[in-house]
Amino acid sequence: MQLDFVNRELTVKLVYYGPALSGKTTNLQALHKAAEPGASGRLMTLETRDDRTLFFDLLPLTFRNQGSLAVRLKVFTVPGQVIHASTRRLVVQGADGIAFIADSRNAETQHNAESFLDLKENLKQHGLTLKQMPVVIQFNKRDLPEVRSDAEIAELASQGREPVYLAVAMRGQGVVESFVGLLHLTWSALDAEHDLNKKFGFDSQAFLATVAKKLGDSRPLSEILGACVGGALDVLKPEAG
C-alpha cells in the first residue's frame, strides 16, 4: 500500500496467484471487460508468444468519487509456470491482498496445493505469513467436466479461514464477487492497521458498493459478499509479530 497524503491518494496492490493455466489472466480480462471505462485503465499483459504470462499482467483500477480519498487498485497476476519462481517472488512482494485462483478439475488438485505452498514460501521469503495476508480462494472452471464437487469444496471451505468463491472466469461468473470479497478483506486489514476510514472520513461499505457497481454488479453489497462459501469475511486482525 502506498499513501499519498498530499494528493489524498491510496494505492493498493492486489495479486492473483495460482497454478499455471488456472485462469488468473482470464479473471483480469473479465474484470477489465466489466469495468466502466472511467474506472479502468488498459490491461497490460507481458506475455510470451503462446499467450502464457511471462512476468505479470497488470490492471489499474481507479475510484475517485469516494469521499475525499482516491483509491487506485493495481491488480497483478503472477506467471503460474513452475520455472517462473523468481518472478512470482518479485511480483508478490508488497501485495496487500491475494486472490488464489485454483483450477477446479480433479486432475489439478495437486497443482493447486503445490502453488499454494509456493505462495506460502514466497511470502515467507518476504518475511510475511499467510495469516497476515488477506486471501480469498476462487475455484475456477466450474463449467468443465470432472471437477471437484460443490459439496466437497463447501465442506473443505467451511473448515478453512479463506472465503472461497466458485467461478467460470471465461464467462465472467464469480469474478466480480471474488474481487469484491478480496477488496473487502484487504480494506479491512489496511483499515485495522492504518485507521483509514477514520483518518479520511471514508465509508468502506459505500466504497465497496461503488466498486461493485462500477464493475457492473448493482446488487446489495451483502448479497455480493455472501456469494462465498466457507471462510470468514470479517475483519482480519493483524497478527502480533
Partner 1 sequence: MTLSAPPTRSLDELTLGGDMSLEDLVSRDGLAEVIKSANELFGLPIRVFTEDGKLLADATDSIELYAYLNTSRAGRAALSEVVAAVKALAPGADGEANYQCVTGAFYRVAAIVYDSRQIGRMILGPFSPAASAEPPASLLALDAQLDPDNLRALYKKLPRGEEQTVSHVARHLARVLDLLLFSGHRALLTSNMHLASVRESFRELEDKNQKLQVAYDRLKELDRLKSNFLATVSHELRTPLTSIIGYSEMLVEGLAGDLTKEQREFVQTIRDKGDQLLALIKGLLDLSKLESGTMSLRKNHVDVAALIKDVVSTMAPTARKKEVELTFEVEKGLPAIWADAERLRQVLLNLTENAIKFTPVSGSVRLVARLTGMDATSSGDTGGMVLLGARRTGVEMRVADTGIGIPESERMRVFDAFYQVDSSSTREAGGTGLGLSIVKRLVDGHDGNVRIEANQPRGTVFVVTIPVKRATIG
Q: Which DSSP category does 167 fall into? A: -
Answer yes or no whether residue 11 interacts with partner 1 by CB under 8 A: yes
Closest CA to 28 of 54, 50, 60: 60
Q: Count how many Cα atoms sit within 13 Å of the Cα of residue 59 in the half-sphere of its side chain.
A: 23
Number of amino acids touching partner 1 (CB under 8 A): 28
83 Cβ contact partners less than 8 Å away, ≥ 6 residues apart: none
Nearer to partner 1, 37 or 241 (CB): 37
Answer yes or no whether residue 99 interacts with partner 1 by CB under 8 A: no
Nearer to partner 1, 62 or 210 (CB): 62
Q: Which DSSP category does 229 fall into? A: B
Distance in angstroms (rounded) separating the CA atoms of residues 241 and 119: 20
Contacting range for partner 1; rule: CB under 8 A; set: 3-11, 28-36, 113-121, 166-174: 3-11
State the nearest-atom distance from the C-beta of 85 to partner 1, in Å. 8
Phi, psi of 164 (to 5 degrees): -120, 130
Nearer to partner 1, 91 or 182 (CB): 91
Closest CA to 163 of 192, 132, 139, 187: 139
Q: Candidates 68, 86, 159, 222: give the one binding partner 1 (CB under 8 A).
A: 86
Query: Helix or strand or coil: residue 73?
Result: strand
Answer yes or no whether residue 81 interacts with partner 1 by CB under 8 A: no
State the nearest-atom distance from the C-beta of 35 to partner 1, in Å. 13
Phi, psi of 240 (to 5 degrees): -70, 140
Residue window 141-180: x/- pattern of binding to partner 1, with contact defined by CB under 8 A:
----------------------------------------
CA 40 to chain centre: 16
State the nearest-atom distance from the C-beta of 99 to partner 1, in Å. 17
The site for partner 1 (CB under 8 A) is made up of 2, 4, 7, 9, 11, 13, 41-42, 44, 46, 55-56, 58, 60, 62, 64, 70, 72, 74, 76, 84, 86-87, 89-91, 93-94
